[in-house]
C-alpha cells in the first residue's frame, strides 16, 4: 500500500502567536493520527516558479490515514487555533508503490 504525505508550504505568517498555538496542538494530532514529521521549517532551495518558504512534510502509512488525521477532531482544533494566522498551500498526496 502506498504511503501518503501532508505537504504544507507557508506563503506568509501574519500572526506568529496563532502559529505558535497551532504548533502546540498539531503535533499531538499528527502523532495520534499515525503521522511522522519528516521535515518542518528546514532549509529550502526553490527552483523555477517556486518560493523559498517554510515547508512541512508529514508521512502517513496510507492515503486514508492521512485524510482521517486531517479530519480528526484534534487536528480541527489545531486548525481553529491557526485560523487566519498564516497563508499556506496544504495538500494530501499519495505516494508511489
pLDDT of amino acid 73: 98
Local confidence band at 60 (pLDDT 50, 70, 90 cut-offs): very high
Judge whether residue 97 has pLDDT over 90: no
Q: For residues 77, 82, 88 and 91, what is the CA-based torsion angle, rounded to 10 degrees? A: -10
pLDDT of amino acid 8: 95
pLDDT of amino acid 41: 82
3-state secondary structure of 97: coil
For the entire predicted model, the pTM comes to: 0.91
pLDDT, the chain, mean: 95
Give the CATH number for residue 63: 3.30.70.100
Structural domain boundaries, residue 44: 4-94
Overall average pLDDT of the 44-53 stretch: 88
Please count the structural domains in the chain: 1
* HSE toward the beta carbon, residue 24, CA cutoff 13 A: 8
CA nearest 85: which of 7, 2, 12? 12
Q: Which three cell numbers stand for residue 38?
A: 519528516
Cα 44-95-37 angle, rounded to 5 deg? 50
Judge whether residue 52 has pLDDT over 90: no
Amino acid at each position: 500500500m502506498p504511503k501518503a504525505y501532508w505537504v504544507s508550504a507557508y506563503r506568509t505568517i501574519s500572526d506568529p502567536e496563532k502559529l505558535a498555538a497551532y504548533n502546540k496542538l498539531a503535533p499531538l494530532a499528527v502523532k495520534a493520527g499515525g503521522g511522522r514529521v519528516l521535515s518542518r521549517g528546514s532549509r529550502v532551495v526553490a527552483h523555477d516558479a517556486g518560493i523559498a518558504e517554510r515547508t512541512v512534510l508529514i508521512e502517513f502509512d496510507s492515503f486514508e490515514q492521512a485524510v482521517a488525521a486531517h479530519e480528526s477532531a484534534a487536528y480541527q482544533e489545531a486548525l481553529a487555533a491557526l485560523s487566519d494566522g498564516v497563508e499556506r498551500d496544504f495538500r494530501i498526496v499519495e505516494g508511489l508503490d
